[in-house]
Structure formats: structure tokens, C-alpha cells
Amino acid sequence: MVKHPGKAVRKVVIAGGGTAGWMCAAWFSKILRDDIEEIVLVESEEIGTVGVGEATTPYIRVFNHHLGIDEDAFVRDTQGTFKLGIEFEDWGRLGHTYHHPFGANGREFGSLPFHAIWLRDVLERGGPSDLGLYNLQSVAARNGKFMRPQGQNSPLAGIEYAFHFDAGLYAMTLRHFAEARGVTRIEGRIETVELSGTGSISALLLNEARRIEGDLFIDCTGFRALLLGEALQTGFEDWSHWLPCDRAYAAPTARVGAPCPYTRSMAMAAGWQWRIPLQHRDGNGLVFASHFLPEAEALDIFLGNLLASRMSDPKLIRFKTGRRKVSWHKNCVAIGLAAGFLEPLESTSIMLIQNGIARLQYYFPDTGFDQADIDAYNRAMNREYEDIRDFLILHYHASERDDSEFWRYCRAMPVPESLAHRLDLFRSRGRIPEERGEQFRLNSWLAVMWGQGLRPRSADPLTLSLDGDGLGTWLSDIRDVIGKCSDIMPTHEDFILRHCRAAHLA
């Protein structure tokens, strides 16, 4: 008989009830309901949540699908809209706009990737350089169109999308879901984290002398990282020299016009501003680097850029970009802002929460807490943070802007070697390696590198023997098909009204 080094984890304690805490509670109450006896979530209404986080990536659909959440109901309940990508204004240079869309560009040409053919056409024949013309999500976004995938053998079958939503309402949806599956919510303030002689967490001590014991503790206490950071003292790796934005002002405003099916990201003199359409309001935020722009000036700029009346006072959020050196130590795993934060430019935080949850499930421990599992989890999470970090730095570093001290700093700063290597490869023959199973794949890197103004010196050598005129016709056919697909799609607004309008619009 195999002797097991630990007993089964019977009680999971989730500290914190923001998006991260309730995502964990919902997931584990459904997916591991036969394995875990008790799940307890402790949160403090008095402390509250960070209260932002409105844009997502397509991975969230997988999360909701596994929970069995009906998508139309979810969009309705969270005042949601659909997102086909992000529009970047003034990032590569002032007055220039590009899209980072979800989904594929064109299609493969034999064994060659689409972008190799397209680059050959642009660089050697002066063909259309607007990459967005080859991506249905991009064309549909520009035309204000949306629908879910339909049919087969057409770009319509491969439509990729995510959502904009009210994060507070999403957490509420997940809370109902988790409580219905037996999760116990405890309202209270964690005052002390009690450690055992081995340095593991034995209990959380709350106000009113309450003591919550557990086998596994999930730290979802946000930037405070009360368990993994404060109590277990795992260090923090600070990346603010690469990603210098460290503040955000956020405020909702009344909705203006039809909701666009994409996030708007407008580069400013020392940061950028987002505009996100929900059904009942627009979300706005200015992300900025306080070293280059004092808070008071940033507030004036933010308020001056709002298009409609504010629905609440602007909220100032201070943050430091980076991650904990490890996300899992002993019997504590940090998920969400407690594990790290990479600023919201590509809406990656909720995706990182989801991936943390999926990995924790994969490496789910017994009370022996095998170090091999912990190391594997940390390696994978660390790599993911680093990949996203590099992708974000690209937006700032590969810009032609030199109109402010902030942009001059970003252009001149030395970048991580991993990113420098990618930039070199692209500048050489337009190559974009996909070697590590990153979240942001070829099409994302291409959209941003090209959009920011990077240009390869020459095309992929394997394309040079191909007939240029033939390629031109092949590309033109793709543009036509994509244009026609967009034409038959309903507008984003009509789609919402027909399928998932929220109560206030009913």
C-alpha cells in the first residue's frame, strides 16, 4: 500500500471577497465540491474592494462556461457589453490609432503563417499596411458590429470576444453562485494571521475574538496581501522601472452614444486613459506615473477629458507594478492583486486570477504540501507574469513619441532581455516565436508591434520565391470576405438589445 504523506485538504479559507475571492469560491465550490468539505470566505465590507476591473480577455468565457453560467444572463446581470479588442490612440505616435483585436488574422498560406505573406506584400509590393483589414474582430469593431460565432468555414465561425462589465456585479453574481453551493461567508476584519511552529498559517484571527482555522489559505486580500505578503513575508519584485505608471483615477460617467464593442485606450503625456462602455454607464480611468505627473495635475486632466457628467467622485488608486517572488508558500496561495499587479493596459488581472485558480486545481495539495507542486505552480505563474510584463512594456517602449519626459524615459529605458530578443527577431524578418504557450500569442504581438510602428528589415525568406501578384490577389480576397462578414453582422447595440439588455433598459 502506498503511504500518503499528507491528509486530504478538508477546509479551505479564502481571505478577501473581491473579484479574486469570489472567483475562487465559485470555482472550488463547483469543481471540487466532492473533494473539499468546507469553504469559508472572510471579507470586510468596511475595507471594501478595489472596485475597478471592467475589461476582460476571451478566457473568461471558459471560466463562466465551466461554472455553467448562462452568458446572456451574465451580461444582463453585470450591465455588460461585448469586447472585440482594444483601440490604442496616440500610442505609436500622436494622431495614430490601431487595434489590438482578438482572434486570427487572415489564414495560413500552406505552411507559412499569414503575417509572413502579408509582410511580404507590404514590404516588397507596397500592399495595404492596415493589418486590421485582415481581422474580422477589428473590422467589426470599427463598424460597431457584434455577434457570436456562427456557421463553419468562414471568419464568422471564429469570432473571438470578451466582455466589459461591472466588476462589483460580477462578484455579486459569483457570491450568489458560491453561497448556493455551500460556501460560508464571514463578515469580519482579519486582525492577525496566526502561524504554527513550522511557519505555516494555522488560523486567521478576526475582530470580536473570532478564530478561523483551515488547511489551505487563499490570500485574496488585494494589494495588502495580508497572508502571503505581511504574515509570510514573501518578497515583492518591483517592476516599476519598466512600467512606471503607479496611480489611477477612476470614475463612471453617464453613457454617451451607442456602446462600442471595444475598449478605448488613449495615450496621454504621462500615462493613458481608458473608456469602457457598459450598458448603464461608461467607465473611465486615467493611469499615470506620479513621478512624471503630480496627482493634482492628473486629476485636472482626467476630469477635463470626461465626456459626460460624473456618477461618483473620482477614486484615486495607488499601486506598484510587480509580483510577489512566489505566489504559493507553505499552505498559502495568493490569487489576484495579492499575488501581483501589472496595470490594466491589456485587461490581464482577471485572466491571471483565472489561471491561478486553474493551476491551483491542477496542483491541488494534500496537507503534506509537496514542495515539487509548489515550485511548479510558482514557476508557471512567475513566467506568466513575466510574459505579460514584456507585452505591456512593448506598448510604452516601442513608441515614436518624444513629446514628454515620460515618453522619452520609456523609449530610452533598457528592457528585459526576453523582450529585447523578441524585438530583434521581429525587426529582422518579422518573426514572432510562440515557444512558451503564452497568453498573448502571435496575433497579439504582431498587432502591437506593428501598431506601435516597428518594422522588419525584410520579409521571411521563404516568401520571396512566391508570385507577388498572386499573393496580392489572395490578400485582396481575404479583405473582401472579411468586409462582407462584417456587413452582415448586427450592430453591437442591436445585439445587446435583442439578447441581453439589462433591467434598466428593458
Ligand X SMILES: Cc1cc2nc3c(=O)[nH]c(=O)nc-3n(C[C@H](O)[C@H](O)[C@H](O)COP(=O)(O)OP(=O)(O)OC[C@H]3O[C@@H](n4cnc5c(N)ncnc54)[C@H](O)[C@@H]3O)c2cc1C
Query: Mind telling me the catalytic residues?
Result: 83
Give exposure, 251-267, as e/b (b: 16+ Cβ within 10 Å): bbbebeeebbbbbbbbb
Residue 201 binds ligand X (CB under 6 A):
no
* Residues 105-134 interacting with ligand X (rule: CB under 6 A): none
Q: Which is nearer to ligand X, 18 or 314 (CB)?
A: 18
Q: How far is the CB of 384 from ligand X (least distance, A)?
A: 14
Name the DSSP class of 366: B
Neighbouring residues of 40: CB distance < 8 A, sequence distance ≥ 6: 11, 12, 13, 14, 183, 184, 185, 186, 212, 214
Residue 458 and residue 427 in contact, taking contact as beta carbons nearer than 8 Å: no
User: Using the rule CB under 6 A, is 47 a contact of ligand X?
Assistant: yes
| C-alpha grid cell, residue 176 | 450568489
- Per-residue contact track with ligand X, 254 to 273, x per CB under 6 A? --------------------
Look up cell 487563499; give the residue: 218
Which of these, 171, 181, 180, lies nearest to 33 by C-alpha position?
A: 181
Residue type at position 186: I
Q: Per rule CB under 6 A, is residue 135 in the interface with ligand X?
A: no
Does 50 sit near ligand X (CB under 6 A)?
yes
Nearer to ligand X, 20 or 67 (CB): 20
Q: Which of 52, 231, 446, 489 binds ligand X (CB under 6 A)?
A: 52
Using CA atoms, how far apart are residues 173 and 60, in angstroms rounded to an integer?
Answer: 14
Q: Kindly state the smallest distance separating residue 319's Cβ from ligand X, in Å.
A: 5
Distance of closest approach, residue 299 Cβ to ligand X, in angstroms: 14
Residues 301-340 that bind ligand X (CB under 6 A): 317, 319, 336-338
Q: Which of 13, 21, 142, 175 binds ligand X (CB under 6 A)?
A: 21
Residues 335-364: x/- map of binding to ligand X (CB under 6 A)? -xxx-----x--x-xx--------------
- Considering the rule CB under 6 A, would residue 189 count as an interface residue with ligand X? yes
State yes or no: residue 54 binds ligand X (CB under 6 A): yes
- Of the candidates 99, 97, 137, which has an alpha carbon nearest to the alpha carbon of residue 267? 97
Residue window 153-172: x/- pattern of binding to ligand X, with contact defined by CB under 6 A: --------------x-----
C-alpha 46/C-alpha 40 separation (Å) is: 19
Closest CA to 299 of 254, 244, 251, 265: 251
Min separation Cβ 50 and ligand X, Å: 4
User: What secondary structure, in 3-state letters, does 125-190 show?
Assistant: HCCCCCHHHHCHHHHHHHCCECCCCCCCCCHHHHCCCEEECCHHHHHHHHHHHHHHCCCEEEECCE
With CB under 6 A as the contact rule, the residue among 42, 178, 245, 471 that binds ligand X is 42
Gyration radius of the chain over CA positions: 24
List residues binding ligand X (CB under 6 A).
Answer: 16-21, 42-44, 47-50, 52-56, 167, 189-190, 220-222, 224, 226, 248, 250, 285, 317, 319, 336-338, 344, 347, 349-350
